[in-house]
A and B are shown apart, each in its own frame.
Chain A
Amino acid sequence: QQQVKQSPQSLIVQKGGISIINCAYENTAFDYFPWYQQFPGKGPALLIAIRPDVSEKKEGRFTISFNKSAKQFSLHIMDSQPGDSATYFCAASGTGTGNQFYFGTGTSLTVIP
């Protein structure tokens, strides 16, 4: 059973546009939600993370929006650039969730110049 559901599977955006990736979860014990960026042949790298006590977190062009009641969170990439082309994974973890991080299935983002 997929603990964290991620969509879309792939995304194509024009340069300068907004990329939006969505994730949903069921386990209310999750209390930490990181996003990872992975380039081909490389390991995932932490991009930005949020805890459920805030509804939004922004770092540069990257913003996480968090909706606790809906159990959803999303990554927004503003002014998308070709260099943002990568695979993005959402994840979730929490105390008492079996010492695991649960990852979404990934979104392949392509930003067209």
Chain B
Amino acid sequence: DSGVTQTPKHLITATGQRVTLRCSPRSGDLSVYWYQQSLDQGLQFLIQYYNGEERAKGNILERFSAQQFPDLHSELNLSSLELGDSALYFCASTRGLAGSTDTQYFGPGTRLTVL
């Protein structure tokens, strides 16, 4: 158990809908990263927050947005869902920023299926 929690574990929805994925980082970790992993694909970095502020952006679609709250949990919002958005979405956390002595610890993921 990495200490990172993600809810829900599974999510099934229809095209055009909007969903929210939730992540709670390890105790004491200030950074949260979101990744998308499609079938047989690697980890695609989406976005990173550090202590409530956006710090890095990857290949995140405009239909997607995220935020980190004062209690450090984070939410990833996916809207106008398309079939191609079906994937595993992972959250990871670190104590500080990338490049520090800490590494990323990943949550168990949320499997999103868009029908």
Contact = CB atoms under 8 A, between A and B. Distances in A.
A86 interface: no
A100 B108 contact: no
A47 B25 CA distance: 19
Contact of A97 (B50, B58, B98): B98
A89 B109 CA distance: 16
Nearest to A93: B98
Interface residues of B, number: 28
A36 B105 CA distance: 10
Contacts, number: 69
The prevalent SS among residues of B at the interface is loop
A99 B42 contact: no
Nearest to A30: B99
Interface residues of A, number: 27
Interface of A: 31-32, 34, 36, 41-46, 49, 89, 91, 93-106
Contacts of A98: 56, 98
Contact of B43 (A31, A41, A42, A89): A89
B56 A45 contact: no
